[in-house]
Amino acid sequence: MESKKIMICDDDQGIVEMLELFLDLEGYQVLSETNITNLTKQLIAYQPDLLLLDLWMPVLSGDQLIKIIRNTPEIKNIPILVLSASVDGRDVAEGLGANGFIAKPFDLNEITSSIHDVLAS
């Protein structure tokens, strides 16, 4: 069975590198993007099975991006897991139709279990 593809989008290089390392160990194919403006292009090109998205990024905020993804036919069905350090992140994520929310700072067990849940459904 081919391993699942996960796209990580966060403007913090540290988080991205750590998650790449971890998800790679967990046996996923990992792609990452720190520049949010490139993300839609990347998503269309790679068609990942899941997007891990930080909600609070400069230039284009995560909530705007979710709207764009949901309105772009080629990628509108990609499941999205929102990562955020802000308290109202959960409400924003749920309101926009994200598939899950993980509060920063997170425990890696939360990442694996959330990914499992989303991919299983």
Partner 1 sequence: MGKRASGINELNIYLKALNSAYSGIIITDNLQHDNPIIYCNKAFENISGYSHDEIIGHNCRFLQAQDRSQPERYILKDCIKNGEECKIEIRNYRKDGTLFWNELFISPVKNEAGQVTHFIGVQNDITSRKKAEHELREEKNNVEIKIQQRTKELQEKESFLSSMIETVRESLLVLDGNYIVLSANKHFLTSFHVSSEETVGKLLFDLGNKQWDIPSLKELLTHILPTSNPVIDYEVEHVFPHIGRKVMLLNAYRIEFEGQYKDRILIALEDITEKKEQDLRKDDFLSVASHELKTPLTTIKGLVQILQRLSIDHSDNKFVSTLDKISAYIDRLNILITKLLDTSKIQSGHIELHMEPFAIDHTIREAIDNIMVGVPGYKINLFGSTDATVSGDELQIIQVINNLLSNAIKYSPGSNRIDVAIHRVANFVKISVRDYGMGIANVDKQKIFERFFRAGHTQKKFPGLGIGLYVSHEIITHHNGTLWVESEPGEGSTFNFTLPIMRTENDGK
| 104 lies in the site for partner 1, by CB under 8 A | yes
Instruction: State which of residues 18, 31, 60, 68 lies at the interface with partner 1 (CB under 8 A).
Output: 18
Q: Look at residues 27, 22, 30, 65 and name the one whose alpha carbon lies nearest to residue 46.
A: 30
Which segment (44-52, 66-74, 89-97, 106-114) binds partner 1 by CB under 8 A?
106-114
Length of the chain: 121
Helix or strand or coil: residue 7? strand
Binding site for partner 1 (CB under 8 A): 12, 14-15, 17-19, 21-22, 25, 56, 85-87, 104-108
